[in-house]
Each structure stands twice: as C-alpha cells, then as structure tokens.
C-alpha cells in the first residue's frame, strides 16, 4: 500500500509531483486529501460526523432528498418545504385560497383581485367593461351594452342655464342678438325693428368729463381758442384778440421793473452806486507773511517765521482776533508744512480752531479760552520732508457762531509721542467765506 504523507502547508500544482497524494488539515476546515493528476490538483474533504463540507458552489445534477428513515430533519426540496432563509415561503399553501393560490401540487388557481391591489373586486366584467356604457337620445347614460343613440339638442329636455352654457330661456326672443337694434338717440331696443345710426346731435343730455365730455352745453365754457392774454399779463376769455404785454404794461405790484431798470446798465453790468450785496464773500482775515519785523522804527516786512514742535501735544503757534458777521459761513487755512527728515513717516499736523475771549488782568489783556472749541476744528497732516503748500481739505463751519469777536488759533503738533519727530509750519493764511 502506497504511503500518503501529511503536509503542513497548502498543497498546489508546483508543490506536488504528478500522481502524488498528500493530506492537509487547514485552519477551520476538515482534513482534506490532495492529488495531482494531469497537471491539476484534486481535493476531497473528509468527515468525522457525516456532514459534507464544500469550499465553493454545490453543483447538483439530480434531486436532493433526505436519506434514510426515522430521521428528525425536514426534507429540504423534494416532497418538503424550502425555508424562507433559503429563498422559499416556509409554509404549505396548497390548501390556501385567495387572489393566487396552489390548489394542488403543480396547479395554480386565481381568485378575485381587490381594488386596493389593482383589481376590480368583481368576477363578472359586465360591471366594469367600458363598452357597456352607451348614450340615450336624451343624453342620459345606460350600462346595458345596447346600441348608443347620438343625443341632439332638441331631444334634451329642460332649460339650459347660463351656468351650463345656455340662455336660461325657452323662447329665442329673450336672448337672440339679432333683435338688438339702436335708436337715433343712441338708446337700445329689443324689437328687431331695424337699427338707426345714432348721431351725436341726437344724443340727449350733457356728456360729463368722467365720460370724456366737457360737462357743458355751451362751448364758450371750454373753447381753448377763446383764451387770450391782455397787455398787462392777465388772461381773458372774450376772443377779442390778444395783446402784446411788455415790461411797461405788465402789472408790477413789487416794483420789479423799477428795480431792474434802476440797477442794470443798458450796456450790461450794474449802474454806478448799486451795491452787490453780501451774496459773495471771501476775505483774507490773516496773512502771517505781511508782518513787519524786527519791531523797530521804520521796520519793514521780513521773511515769515518758521514754527516747530517735537511732540504730540497741540501748541498754539499763531493767534489773532476775529470779528464774526452772521453772513460768514466757513473758514479755511492755507500754509506750508513739513515733517523732519529723520521722522520715518510720522505726520506733522496743524489744527485750526476758534475760542472765546478770556479777559485777563491789566497787564495780561485778553487771552483765548482754550477750555472748549467754539466750533468743530479742522486738522491737516503730512509726512513730507519738504515744505508743501497745503490747505484744509474741508472748511470749518462757523455759520452757528453769534456775531461778535473771537480768538482764531493755529496749533502745531506731531504724531510722535516720544519727542523724536519734529513738525515745521510757516506762512499761514486764513480766509473766511460768506453766503
């Protein structure tokens, strides 16, 4: 007897010789016998309890049935039930009746399909076949499959209402459009006597404005051609011929002509002695460059002073008196400003402000009351290192000031709080603008 050896690794075609047989016990599998024959590896599993183990598909050419007698198991296919877990119904339905049932083995019968399952709930088609529905001559329906009769309008009994497309009348005289005719005065009749073309002259009454008329019977109340102008500029409605109004003939309650002819010169411009008023006003109220210095006898004007400041505290560098008139509305300042060459982008800043007077003693005179700004001040900043002509981009609103005398101050400071940056200011000019 040939000896069959046991191997400890999964046999394959390369590990086995032709005709060689071995046994191998894989993990979780029964003991298997392997044999190489014709270059292929054949395998069969052994059993210790009679159960059959299959690696992959179980291909059966015949019928599968339970073998032996006295077994406790249920036949799987032949003569038995296929459980639901195996794709069957798990029950014997041969004795059941219903929509579809098996009356006996191999015979399928059907019952009545209810409406909720897509059926008609009846066994006789005479209760639902559409061909049984026919029409009678009077328009009613029947369900007896008799020959249909086409209904006609004369055969339909009763009166067809307006809601159903009828006239609600049995006599055509109550609705026939051909009986509607017009009278000469525009009214309608329903006697088919023959229409008369209405004429506007025959239409009685007054056509109101709401209906496109004039609301009048006399054209003198509305005829546009009767509207004319008198020489004094007034209108009339007499159709007597328009006049040509001139400055000499126009009614002038406010003496406009006298004021125009008295103020305007014939060759354009104003007559001598006529005041232009205060509608335009722009007055320089301070110009630092015109101050004479040094202060000595016969002193003349000198170059403008240059003020400087090295920290972020605003300091008054120039202050002067300002007499405010209620016609004055805004104030602006122009100047030359620069920041020091070693300032690395720190801005030089000037501030234009207005203060009240504070009356001091005999020697000190009047000083600005810097406790509060009278109006919102304006500021201008630059980091240029050379003097640049600048001005306040927005005007300071002084329209709310009462007439009187105030102190106008120009203050200078820098963004650098450490004192390492210097700001320079010279040549300030302050201008006030009126209404």
User: What residues does each domain of the chain span?
Assistant: 5-45, 245-275, 283-434
Cβ–Cβ contacts within 10 Å for residue 149, how many? 14
Specify whether the CB–CB gap between 407 and 334 falls below 8 A: no
Q: What is residue 35's predicted lDDT score, i.e. its pLDDT?
A: 93
Buried b (16+ CB within 10 A) or exposed e, 170-179: eeeeeeeeee
* Whole-angstrom distance, CA of residue 108 vs CA of residue 97: 10
More reliable by pLDDT, 250 or 134: 134
Specify whether the CB–CB gap between 53 and 45 falls below 8 A: yes
Q: Is 226 exposed, middle or buried (0-12, 13-18, 19+ CB in 10 A)?
A: middle
177 vs 20, 180, 183, 189, CA distance in Å?
Answer: 114, 6, 16, 11
DSSP assignment of 97-139 equals: -SSEEEEETTEEEE-PPPGGGTS-S-S-GGGT-GGG-EE-TTS
Given a cut of 50, is residue 79 above it in pLDDT? no
Q: Specify the residue for token string 């210790």.
A: 48
Specify whether the CB–CB gap between 20 and 35 falls below 8 A: yes
Q: Model confidence over 401-419: pLDDT tens digits?
A: 999 999 999 999 998 888 8
> What sections of 228-380 are H helices per DSSP?
256-263
* Whole-angstrom distance, CA of residue 311 vs CA of residue 292: 30
pTM: 0.40
Most confident of 41-55, 77-91, 93-107, 251-265: 41-55
* Whole-angstrom distance, CA of residue 88 vs CA of residue 78: 13
Average pLDDT for the chain:
78
Peptide bond into 294 cis (omega under 30): yes
* Whole-angstrom distance, CA of residue 239 vs CA of residue 227: 7
CATH architecture assigned to 283-434: Sandwich (2.60)
* Whole-angstrom distance, CA of residue 42 vs CA of residue 13: 10
* Whole-angstrom distance, CA of residue 354 vs CA of residue 322: 9
Q: What is residue 315's predicted lDDT score, i.e. its pLDDT?
A: 93
Q: Specify the residue for token string 């000896």.
A: 3
Q: What is residue 82's predicted lDDT score, i.e. its pLDDT?
A: 60
* Whole-angstrom distance, CA of residue 78 vs CA of residue 92: 13
65 vs 7, 21, 85, 231, CA distance in Å?
Answer: 36, 33, 18, 132
**In 3-state terms, what secondary structure has residue 84?**
helix
Q: Model confidence over 29-46: pLDDT tens digits?
A: 899 999 999 999 999 999
DSSP-derived pairing of the beta strands 31-37 and 40-45? antiparallel
Q: What is residue 38's predicted lDDT score, i.e. its pLDDT?
A: 92
Cα-to-chain-centroid distance, residue 183: 59
More reliable by pLDDT, 320 or 180: 320
Q: What is residue 177's predicted lDDT score, i.e. its pLDDT?
A: 77
Q: pLDDT band for 2, please (50, 70, 90 cuts).
A: low
More reliable by pLDDT, 94 or 353: 353
Given a cut of 70, is residue 282 above it in pLDDT? yes
Q: pLDDT band for 67, please (50, 70, 90 cuts).
A: low
Given a cut of 60, is residue 11 above it in pLDDT? yes
Q: What is residue 88's predicted lDDT score, i.e. its pLDDT?
A: 61
Percentage of residues of the chain with pLDDT beyond 90: 22
* Whole-angstrom distance, CA of residue 59 vs CA of residue 270: 126
Q: Model confidence over 382-406: pLDDT tens digits?
A: 988 888 899 888 889 999 999 999 9
H or E stretch at 328: strand 328-339
Under 8 Å CB-to-CB from 398, ≥6 apart: which residues?
Answer: 324, 328, 329, 330, 331, 354, 375, 432
Percentage of residues of the chain with pLDDT beyond 70: 77
* Whole-angstrom distance, CA of residue 41 vs CA of residue 25: 16
């Amino acid at each position: 007897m040939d000896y069959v050896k046991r191997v400890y690794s999964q046999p394959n075609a390369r590990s086995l010789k032709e005709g060689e047989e071995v046994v191998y016990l894989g993990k979780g599998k029964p003991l298997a016998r392997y044999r190489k024959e014709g270059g292929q590896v054949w395998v069969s599993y052994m059993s210790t309890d009679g159960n059959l183990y299959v690696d992959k598909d179980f291909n059966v050419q015949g019928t599968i049935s339970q073998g032996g007698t006295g077994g406790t198991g249920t036949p799987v296919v032949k003569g038995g039930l296929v459980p639901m877990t195996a794709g069957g119904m798990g029950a014997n339905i041969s004795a059941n009746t219903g929509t579809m049932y098996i009356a006996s083995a191999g015979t399928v019968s059907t019952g009545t399909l209810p409406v909720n399952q897509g059926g008609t709930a009846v066994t006789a088609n005479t209760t639902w076949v559409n061909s049984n529905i026919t029409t009678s001559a009077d328009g009613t329906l029947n369900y007896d499959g008799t020959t249909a009769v086409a209904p006609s309008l004369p055969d339909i009994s009763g009166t067809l209402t307006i809601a159903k497309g009828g006239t609600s009348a049995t006599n055509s005289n109550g609705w026939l459009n051909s009986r509607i005719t017009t009278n000469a005065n525009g009214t309608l009749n329903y006697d088919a006597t023959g229409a008369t073309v209405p004429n506007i002259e025959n239409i009685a009454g007054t056509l109101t404005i709401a209906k496109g008329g004039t609301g009048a019977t006399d054209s003198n109340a509305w005829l546009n051609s009767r509207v004319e102008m008198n020489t004094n500029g007034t209108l009339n409605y007499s159709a007597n011929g328009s006049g040509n109004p001139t400055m000499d003939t126009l009614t002038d309650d406010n003496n406009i002509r006298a004021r125009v002819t008295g103020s305007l010169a014939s060759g354009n411009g104003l007559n001598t002695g006529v005041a232009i008023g205060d509608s335009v006003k722009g007055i320089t109220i301070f110009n630092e460059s015109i101050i004479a210095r040094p202060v000595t006898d016969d002193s003349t004007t000198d170059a403008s002073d240059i003020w400087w400041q090295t920290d972020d505290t605003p300091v008054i560098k120039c202050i002067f008196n300002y007499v405010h008139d209620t016609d004055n509305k805004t104030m602006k300042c122009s100047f030359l400003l620069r920041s020091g060459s070693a300032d690395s982008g720190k801005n030089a800043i000037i501030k234009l402000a207005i203060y009240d007077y504070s009356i001091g003693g005999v020697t000190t005179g009047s000083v600005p009351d810097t406790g509060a700004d009278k109006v919102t001040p304006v500021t201008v900043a630059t980091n240029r290192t050379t003097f640049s002509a600048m001005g306040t981009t927005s005007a300071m609103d002084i329209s709310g000031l009462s007439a009187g005398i105030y102190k106008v101050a120009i203050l200078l400071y820098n963004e650098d709080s450490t004192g390492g940056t210097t700001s320079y200011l010279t040549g300030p000019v302050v201008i006030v603008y009126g209404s």
